[in-house]
Structures are given as structure tokens and as C-alpha cells.
Structure 1
Amino acid sequence: MKVTKKGEAVEIVGIQPEVGTKAPEFSLKNLNDEVVKLSDFVGTPVLISVVPDIDTRICSLQTKRFNQEAAKVEGVKFITISNNTKEEQANWCAAEGVDMELLHDTEGTFGDAYGLFIPEMGRLARGIFVIDKDGKIIYEAISQEIAEEPDYNQALEKVKAVR
């Protein structure tokens, strides 16, 4: 799949899971070095926000927006995943006052499982996945232009509908 970064085409490696299929399992560490697995949230809807680099403007805006929404939406687990290091994520959270679950995919396991890795950038593509209580993907949006914000409202409507 090809997307663009500021108008220039880049290739995403892998195959994205499809809506209606079981979400691929993953295990990533959070900022407390605890292993977090998707299966930890069975029975709870999950919104996964994937950002290429937490230290860039659009990724920062996306993460702050979902952090704000997490405080307003009961019964949903909000997760942000990037392939920034733990230290980069921790520094960003401290500077921005964000306390949501951030997971770091420095090994590329999430990027492989969800088909989101862009080799020429060494980063994940921007995307949002909504997973229902049974672990099925009910919404998926891979941003065609990495430098643009995603459609927050559409993702939020989907996750609120399955609470």
C-alpha cells in the first residue's frame, strides 16, 4: 500500500488486517516497562491510535486529542502506539501533561502484525483501529497523507457505539 508524506509517495510494508477480522495480538511495553497485550482488554472496546513520531506536530495533536477523549469516554481503552523510544515518549508526556497509555514498538512487532511499517522512513504509518469487546476490528483508517490529522469523529463514533 502506498501513502504520501507531504505529497511524496512512500510504501507501507505488509498487509493490514481487515474490518470484521480478529485483531492481531501484540505485546508491547508501556512507559513503566510493563508488557501490555491486546488480549489484556478482551471484554473492553479498544481504540488504537498509531502515530509515526510522537515528537512531530500532527502526531502530538492526534495523541493529545485522544487523551482528551479518553477522559470523557467511559468503558473504552485508549492506546497510542509509536516506534519512538520509551524515553522519547516519556519526555513528550511530561512536556504535554498527557497520561494515557503509550506503547513503544521499537522492535517493529506491531508494525509487522498490522502491516504499518514504512521502511524508507523507519516509522509506522498513521492509523486508527477500533476493536470491539470480542477482539474484532470494527473500524480501520490508514491516513493516505501522513502529514494530515485523521478523522477523529468517525473513529470516536465507532468506539462509542460498541461500549
Structure 2
Amino acid sequence: MEITVKGNPMTVEGQLPAVGEVISAFSLKDMKGNTVSAEELKGKVTILSVFPDINTGVCDQQTRSFNEIASNIEGVRLVSVSRNTIEELNEWCAAKGLDMDMWSDADREFAKAFGIFIPELDKLARSVFVLTEDNEVAYREMLSELTDEPNYEAAVEAAKDLL
């Protein structure tokens, strides 16, 4: 699959999980350095907000917007995922005064499991996944232009529809 970055074509490796498909297993690190996995998402509707680099304007905006819109919805868990280091994620949260679930995909395991790895940039493609309590994909969006923002309202409505 191809996307663009400021109009320049880039290749995205893999295949997005289909709506209705159970997500593949993965393990990442949370902001405390603990290993977290797909199994830990079970039992709650989850919005996975995926971005390339927290230290860029659009990624900052995406993360803050989802936090403002979705973090207080009863029964919905918001998890942000990127290739940023645990230190970078902690520094960003401290600078913004936010306490969020942010997971680091340093080994690219999540990126490859979800079909959102951009090898030319060594980054994750900007995307959003809404998962059921059983880790089935209920909604997905991968932006065709990396610098565009996701459809926040559509993702939140998809999550609310599962409650």
C-alpha cells in the first residue's frame, strides 16, 4: 500500500486488519517500561491512536485531541502508540501536563502486526483502530497523507456504538 508524506509517495508494509478481524498478538512497552500486550486490551472498548512521532505538530495535535475527546468516555480506553522512545513519551506528557496510556513500538512489532510500518521513515503510519471488548476491529482508518489528521468524531462514535 502507498501513502504520501507531503505529497511524496511512501510504501506501507503489510495489510491492515479487516473490520471484524481479531487483532494479531503483539507486545510493546508502556511509559514505565513494562511489557504490555494485545491481551491487556480485552474487556474494554479501545481506541488505538497511532502516530509517527510525538514531537511533530500533527502528532501532538492528534494525541491531545483524542485525549480531550475520548479520555473521559466511560467504558472506553484510549491508548496512543508510536515508535517514540519511552523517554520521549514521558517527556511529552510531562510538558503537556497529561497522564495517558502511551505505548512505544521500539521493535516495530505492533507496526508489522497492524500493517502500518513505513520502512523509508522507520515510522508507523498515522492510523486509528477501534477495538471491541474481544479485540475485534470495529473501525479502522489509515491516513493516505501522513500529515493529515484522523477523523476523530468517526472513531469516537464507533467506540460509543460498542458500549
Shared fold (TM-score greater than 0.5)? yes
Percent identity over paired residues: 39
Does the Cα contact within 8 Å between 2:49 and 2:127 map onto a contact in 1?
yes
CA–CA separation in structure 2 for the residues paired with 1:98 and 1:151: 22
What is the aligned partner in structure 2 of residue 155 from structure 1?
A: 155
After TM superposition, where is structure 1 displaced by more than 3 Å over at least 4 residues in a row? none
1:85 aligns with 2:89: no
Q: CA deviation at 1:98?
A: 1.8
Could you tell me which runs of 5 or more consecutive residues in structure 1 were left unpaired when the two chains were aligned: none
Aligned-pair CA distance for 1:105:
0.3
- Separation in 1, partners of 2:72, 2:40: 22
Distance 2:117 2:71 in 1: 29
User: Cα distance, 1:134 vs. partner?
Assistant: 1.7
Residue 116 (str. 1) matches residue 119 (str. 2): no
Mean alpha-carbon deviation: is it higher for 24-33 or for 3-12?
24-33
Return 5+ residue gaps in structure 2 as ranges: none
Alpha-carbon distance between aligned partners in 2 of 1:66 and 1:124, rounded to the nearest angstrom: 17
Whether the aligned pair in 2 keeps the contact of 1:67 and 1:99 (CA below 8 Å) is no
Q: Which is further off, 123-132 or 30-39?
A: 30-39
| Structure 2 equivalent of residue 6 of structure 1 | 6
Contact 1:111/1:124 (<8 A) preserved: yes
1:27-69 C-alpha deviation (Å, 9 max, x unpaired):
1111111222121132211100000000000000000111112
**Does the 8 Å CA contact 1:129/1:139 hold for their aligned counterparts?**
yes
Question: Alignment RMSD, CA only?
Answer: 1.0
* Contact 2:71 2:77 (8 Å CA) reproduced: no
Q: How many correspondences in the alignment?
A: 163
Partner of 1:102: 102
Q: How does 1:27-106 map to 2 (within 5 A)?
A: 27-106=27-106
The one-character-per-residue Cα deviations of 1:103-152 (angstroms, maximum 9, x if unpaired) are: 00010000110011101011000000000112110100000111011100
Q: Aligned pair 1:16/2:16, yes or no?
A: yes
TM-aligned CA deviation for residue 72 of structure 1: 2.4
Between the aligned partners of 2:93 and 2:74, the Cα distance in structure 1 is: 22
Using the size of structure 2 for normalisation, the TM-score is 0.96
SS in 1 for 2:141: strand
Deviations 1:49-107 (A, max 9, x none): 00000000000000011111233211111000000111111111111112110000010
> Aligned with 2:71: secondary structure?
helix
